[in-house]
A = this chain, B = another copy of it.
Amino acid sequence: MSITFQVIARCGAARAGEIKTERGIVKTPAFMPVGTQATVKAMTPEELKEMGVDIILSNTYHLYLRPGTEIIAQAGGLHNFMHWDGPILTDSGGFQVFSLSPLRRIDEEGVTFRSHHDGSSHFFSPEKAVEVQNILGSDIIMPLDHVVPYPCSYEETREAMERTIRWAERSKKAHHYIKKQALFAIIQGGIYEDLREICAQELVKMDFPGYSIGGLSVGEPKEQMYHLLDVTVPHLPEERPRYLMGVGSADALIEGVRRGVDLFDCVLPTRIARNGRVMVSQGYLTLRNAEFARDFRPIDPQCSCYVCRNYSRAYIRHLLKANEILGVRLTTYHNLYFLKRFMEKIRMTIIENTFPQFYNEFWVQFSYLPQDGE
């Protein structure tokens, strides 16, 4: 087996577990920082390790276009290229093709798309997406999926979902000869309960080492996403990790875990950091605001990260207003550390069987809800 997964504790539907990979153990539930272009924006690998990050995510679509698969192959794979020796999960490019590429044509064979850099034309089949990820050498890989926008008609969603199942089967066939990488399946089906259920059931029959839930957090209300998790997760096997794609706000993370999800990723913490927004127990602070000009407290007085131990809101605000790179470094570091600690606390309360109390306390404190986004 490419990876092994063990649930070590349960509290309601929530689980604490361990994914063992050749490159290290991922303690779940876990949030995966996103390194779209072979770097978690503004961070070094050492800083991620210092925070305790077990696994990061990177993007097949982006790396295929730039610097190109061949250069990463010559570098000895993605880990060598980017100097990160821990586990990496790569997305297949399905979501990116549908969200970033200006022109695309999809048929049963695959998807033809244009590069968002230079307009050049490219073709991804399920086999090609697996092949590229084989070369990247990531530890967990995703099959090419057909993502529909929100909103989308039932019929169109159904067709895309069925194609996603056929493509998962082709991906599995293309992949089986590589032993070290775990190929997950991606469940689609839009906002339609029965489509989500069918997709989950069909993919589970094929027995993948893990199941991703894709096509959510794309604009639908959060309550609808939670409901679709309620509908989907019960069809997934207990002994396999579950990964909710594109979710990274504290509120959606805790709701996902509560419904039995083990893995998450999102650009949210790093993206809002670049806009000067930071995560605190009560929600978010926008550090560029004038109210922080003379606020000499740390970002979050309850946080013990490098940033909160050494810098004031006033100083970080000054850096952000002056467009200094250090400002973005500090907000990014804090947000990733904040989510790492948040997931650790969730995990501990699951193990100690006090997750419901933690969940209730979270919602007493937490107020502001921005929109997630993959």
Instruction: List chain A positions with a Cβ less than 8 A from chain B.
Output: 37-39, 41-44, 66-67, 71, 74-75, 81-83, 293-294, 296, 310-312, 314-315, 317-319, 321-322, 324-326, 328-329
Say whether, besides A75-B314, A294-B74, A325 and B325 are in contact (CB < 8 Å): yes
Q: State the CA gap A294–B66 with chains docked (Å).
A: 13
Closest CB of chain B to A323's CB: distance in Å? 9
Given contacts A41-B326, A81-B318, A325-B328, 4 further A-B contacts (CB under 8 A): A41-B324, A66-B322, A83-B311, A83-B315
Say which residue of B39, B42, B321 sits within 8 Å of A66 (CB atoms).
B321
Q: State the CA gap A325–B324 with chains docked (Å).
A: 11
Residues of B within 8 A of A319 (CB): 37-39
Residues of B within 8 A of A326 (CB): 39, 41-44
Say which residue of B37, B314, B322 sits within 8 Å of A322 (CB atoms).
B37
Say whether, besides A75-B312, A293-B71, A329 and B318 are in contact (CB < 8 Å): no
Q: State the CA gap A67–B43 with chains docked (Å).
A: 26
Could you jot down 30 A-B contacts, CB within 8 Å?
A37-B318, A37-B319, A37-B322, A38-B315, A38-B318, A39-B326, A41-B324, A41-B326, A42-B325, A43-B326, A44-B326, A44-B329, A66-B321, A67-B293, A67-B314, A67-B317, A71-B293, A71-B294, A71-B318, A74-B294, A74-B314, A75-B296, A75-B312, A75-B314, A81-B312, A81-B314, A82-B315, A83-B315, A325-B325, A325-B328
Closest CB of chain B to A145's CB: distance in Å? 25
Nearest-neighbor residue (CB-CB) of A43 within chain B: B326
Nearest-neighbor residue (CB-CB) of A38 within chain B: B318
The 7 A-B residue pairs with the shortest CB-CB distance in the complex, in nearest-first order: A42-B325, A67-B318, A37-B322, A39-B326, A83-B310, A39-B324, A81-B315
Q: State the CA gap A38–B322 with chains docked (Å).
A: 10
Residues of B within 8 A of A66 (CB): 318, 321-322
Say whether, besides A67-B293, A75-B296, A318-B66, A325 and B83 are in contact (CB < 8 Å): no
Residues of B within 8 A of A311 (CB): 83
Say which residue of B37, B75, B81, B315 sits within 8 Å of A324 (CB atoms).
B37
Q: Does B328 contact A296, Cβ atoms closer than 8 Å? A: no
Nearest-neighbor residue (CB-CB) of A310 within chain B: B83
Q: State the CA gap A208–B74 with chains docked (Å).
A: 59
